[in-house]
Amino acid sequence: MEIISDIKSNKELIERSILKHGNSAEHYYYCYLYNIEPWEKPYYIRWDDDMAILAKHDTHDDEWYIFVGVLAPEEERTKLLREFLDYVFSKGAKKLWCEFKTPFRKQTITALKDSQYKVNKINYTLTWPVFDMNQWTGEKMEGKEWKDMRYYWNKLFKNHKVEFREYSPDDKDALKAIVKQWKGERNGTDKTYDHYYLAAINNDFEGYKTRVIIVDDKICGITAGYTLTNKSYYYSSIGITVKDFDRIGEIANMDDLITLKKQGHEIVDFGGGEKHLTTFKSKFKPTSYYKTHIFSIVKRMQ
């Protein structure tokens, strides 16, 4: 097991691990990079055959995080997880936070059942909508099921000048202001990821494809994402808009899906969310869903 803390100089190695063993929509170098908070230290934990764990250490409270699963063949994942647990707890970790898909969480519980480690209950669950673009026909917006979406789409385009284009560095300040406004509008129970959005903006969305929505010459939002390495699987990772116009968030996401289908993407992942966000995303008629679970692992009391 090799512990590497310089993730920028080792970008090529990390991307090699992802190319060989990636199994999550967030197994992408830039997604990992932009998700590192200022008080967190990143670690790339590497084994033979490019197997790896992408991790973060919260230096404020000595908690560690595995960034969405283990980069390894399925039969090797719990073994590497166990080795990583031994390492972080030898360094004084209070707990290790994980976000695993349902099957891997179950495997983890079984693998650690009689060990010195305890898998805690689920903290919260995210539901991920997925679109098989060969089945999805939403670009036509035909029939009763699309009546509401069709009405607000036509209303916006009829009453306003609407433009979609790629991000430009000149958009930076406007998009930062939108993130600030968006964060202020969240209620107390919402989880915000403004650092992730701001990191992507500050890096001019390097590694991401973008669609900026402009209404009446005002920047009103952006969608951004990426194609997973060596796959026709697109993760629409960022979607943020103002609330100045009726259903503008829905329209930006519909444009995103329509554009991605035109570009030939086979699968589009719309990202994980809790109940209210899943309800919103269901308006776009996903073809399937999967779940990830956020939970912690601690060392049992002796």
pLDDT tens string 86-131: 999 999 999 999 999 999 999 999 999 999 999 999 999 999 999 9
Q: Which of 101, 119, 137 marks a domain boundary?
A: 119
Confidence tier at 229 by pLDDT (50, 70, 90): confident
Asked if residue 239 and residue 115 are part of one domain, the reply reads no
Q: Residue type for 56, please?
A: K
Whether 47 has a pLDDT exceeding 60, the answer reads yes
What is the domain extent for residue 96?
A: 2-119
Are 134 and 226 part of one and the same domain? yes
Q: What is the pLDDT of residue 189?
A: 47
What's the Cα-to-Cα distance from 179 to each of 25, 45, 76, 83, 187, rounded to whole Å? 23, 32, 40, 39, 15
Residue 129: φ, ψ to 5°: -80, 140
Task: Indicate whether 256 and 148 sit together in one domain.
Answer: yes
Q: Is residue 300 part of a domain?
A: no
Residue 296 lies in a domain: no
Instruction: Report whether pLDDT(143) > 60.
Output: yes
Q: Are both 146 and 229 inside the same structural domain?
A: yes
End-of-domain residue from the set 81, 98, 119: 119
Residue 294 lies in a domain: no
23, 78, 140 from 117: Cα distances, Å: 25, 13, 52
- pLDDT at 61 exceeding the cut of 70: yes
In a domain, 137, yes or no: yes
* Last residue of one domain, picked from the residues 66, 86, 119: 119
Is residue 299 in a domain?
Answer: no
**Structural domain contains residue 47:** yes
